[in-house]
Amino acid sequence: MERIRTAVHADHEAIARDVAAAIAATIRRANEQGRFAVLGLATGSTPVGVYRELIRLHREDGLSFARVRTFNLDEYYPMAPDSIHSYHRFMWEHLFDHVDIDPANVHLPSGTVARTEAEAQCAGYEARIKAAGGIDFQLLGIGKTGHIGFNEPGSGARSRTRLVTLDTVTRRDAAADFFGEEFVPREAVTMGVATILEARHIAIVATGEHKAGIVRRAVEGDIDTEVAATFLQTHPSTVFHLDRAAAAALTRIATPWLVDEVEWTDDLALEAVVWLAQQTGRGVLKLTQRDYVEHKLSSLLAKFGAPGAVNGFAFNRLGAKIRGRSKLPRGQKIICFSPHPDDDVISMGGMLRKLVLNENDITVAYLTSGNIAVFDHDVRRYLDFINRLSREYQLARGLTESLTGRAEAFLESKQPGQVDIREVQDLKRLIRESEAVSGIETLGLPPGAARFLNLPFYQTGKVRKDPIGPADVAIVRALLDQIKPDLVFVAGDLSDPHGTHRMCKEAIDAALVGLSPQPEVWLYRGAWQEWSVTEATWLVPLAQEELTLKIQAIFKHQSQKDSAPFPGLDEREFWQRVESRNKETAAALDRLGLAEYFAMEAYVVDAPR
């Protein structure tokens, strides 16, 4: 069913190693042939790991870029090359400044050319690619609309480098980088589909659950001008590099029994029975022999001997996942690691309340400040409060006026996307810290249960963060050594739009290595998705009043209320997503014929380090 060759990797790092190795081989092969290698390069969060690995190969393995020419896919228009949003700046910061490439051999579309000259610039870009001998290796990402480069829905197979209007979904997806959709450029210069397809080899990379649906559409669906990535099906040497999350919707991953003979494990059998129940609209215990035969599950039926046996197995397996308060930890030392100062209550507010009632010793460790997710108008409101408080009680006005004066002057002249000065960053951090304390107090935890770690990787003041480093791991390890927890909760989702959750998990995983005794690790999901009932190890029921209390705790995060700065593509507020998702998990069990609950949170027990 896959019309593009796909490689599924264990994680982001494995993708980076494989793709960088292919690029390195391309460079060396071209140089051995006595010519320059020509690379087509992409920007965004997806290729950063590839560029990091190429830099390592340059420094440690002697990979030279002295005889390499590069052509970038695209650039926003208009866009100054020194802007923090510029792809020109991105490429120099993430690759070119760290290797021995000649700047004369670097080609990027211009975001500053006059509109009257844009068409000539695009034609000249095509001519330079042709003069270089064509692209040997093209690196691509894929957008939520299926765009490659900025070839939005409607782009044809014969399209060339041109100025395009950006799709609404694309602009909304980029809004966080620009601190507001209204600041995202409406146009961009991009290589065309035909230009991309002329590359000799293409590697397209996708990571995270939020890409799973469009990956399946690109790989298994018909060629369609509405999904530019489907044109890659016609290319003779394209490889789709995916992590497991991005590959999850592919038929061979989601329903392998529809593709080929499978070896039935207990986990796969449960997935198949739940899938069959969903396809037929029946409860698990009502599935018949005809259902199994008509849906290509005869081999599963043969393994168990009869529909009643396999139905009973699945029903009991699902029922065993349900853990009420009496089956949850009691009297243990527990750390809840929260990437941002609201993920704890959003993702596991119900669990935290139950653990409080079970008299556990709980620490909530906030890994980052979350300060970039505070609107400037919230800061202005607090500055006004500080000024009023200072006047009312005749506080040290010189100190307060100095602080508020610098912050107010900066905010008055701040440009869209400009990095905040330190005072404003600190004010935003303190706003989120006070909200976090209020949130856990709602669930019955004391203020002292909150620990704010402020990991260094996050402290760039920008949406894009530094890689996880030894300092980040050391801070997490110090807390683990101090608390010596029996159980830790970690954000295990890969749908966080900017990767902070994934990077925080990376720091925690590294800190857990060699720790003795090893705590049990439970993974929760963030604001974007929930574990399915088949993926989950434990399903924790919530009564109506427990879900209400959880939502009240979310409300304490006022800076994220009504309109969060980084909502993703879901326009609902976080509490609305939580209510819907927790109720849906319970409803999914109900539809399968199990007991009916009001709402549920889901958790996965992670493998020991």
Q: What is the DSSP string of 584-604?
A: HHHHHHHHTTS---SEEEEEE
Q: Is residue 477 left, alpha or beta, with left meaning phi > 0 and alpha meaning psi from -120 to 50?
A: alpha
What length does the chain have?
609
Question: What pLDDT, on a 0 to 100 scale, did the predictor assign at position 528?
Answer: 72
Contacts of 384 (CB under 8 A, 6+ apart): none
State how far the alpha carbon of 2 is from the alpha carbons of 137, 176, 255, 375, in Å. Answer: 22, 33, 13, 44
Least Cα distance to 20 among 108, 111, 139, 124 occurs for: 139
Q: Which residues of the chain have pLDDT under 50?
A: 497
Q: Give me the amino acid identity at 27.
A: I
Report the pLDDT value the prediction gives residue 460, as an integer from 0 to 100: 81
The long-range contacts involving 401-410, CB below 8 angstroms and separated by at least 24 positions, are: 407/379, 407/383, 408/380, 408/383
For 152-299, where are the E strands, in sequence order? 162-165, 187-190, 201-206, 238-243
What gap in Å lies between CA 127 and CA 125, rounded to an integer? 5
Q: CA 316 to CA 269: how far, in whole Å?
A: 13
Our CA dihedral for 62, 66, 71, 72, rounded to 10 degrees, sits at 50
- CB of 573 closer than 8 Å to CB of 564: yes
- Model confidence, pTM: 0.85
d(CA 264, CA 362): 40
Q: Which two tokens stand for residue 442?
A: 């709602």
Beta bridge partners, 18, equal none
Going edge to edge, which strands form the sheet with 333-338? 450-452, 361-366, 333-338, 487-491, 520-524, 599-605, 538-542
Contact 466, 378 (CB under 8 A): no
Q: In which element (H, E) is residue 377 found?
A: helix 376-393
Convert the pLDDT of each residue in 462-520 to its tens digit. Answer: 666 788 999 999 999 999 999 999 999 999 876 554 578 889 999 999 999 999 999 99
Q: Give kind and range of the element (H or E) at residue 489.
A: strand 487-491
Phi, psi values for residue 130, rounded to 5°: -65, -40
pLDDT of residue 567: 56
- According to the model, what pLDDT value does residue 395 have? 80
Distances in whole angstroms, Cα of residue 581 to Cα of each of 284, 443, 495, 602: 22, 20, 15, 10
**Contact, 121 vs 189, CB < 8 A?**
yes
CB atoms inside a 10 Å sphere around CB 517: 7
Copy the structure tokens of residue 250.
Answer: 């592919």
Determine which one of 53, 75, 126, 152 is catalytic. 152
Q: How many of the other CB atoms lie within 10 Å of CB of 446?
A: 11
CA atoms within 13 A on the CB side of 445: 32
Cα separation, 325 vs 321, whole angstroms: 13
d(CA 145, CA 152): 7
CB 591 within 8 A of CB 523: no
Contact 574, 342 (CB under 8 A): yes
Q: What's the pLDDT score for residue 605?
A: 96
Q: Which of 161, 542, 52, 203 is nearest to 345 (CA)?
A: 542
C-alpha span between 538 and 520 (Å, rounded): 13
C-alpha–C-alpha distance, residues 429 and 341, integer Å: 9
Residue 152 designated active-site: yes
Domains of the chain, with CATH numbers? 5-251 (3.40.50.1360), 255-320 (no CATH), 325-374+421-605 (3.40.50.10320)
The pLDDT score that the predictor gives to residue 337 is: 98
Q: How far is CA 139 from CA 81, 196, 201, 235, in A?
A: 21, 9, 9, 14
Which of 528, 592, 556 is closest to 144 using CA atoms? 528
What type of residue is 174? A
With a CB cutoff of 8 Å and minimum separation 6, the contacts of 97 are none
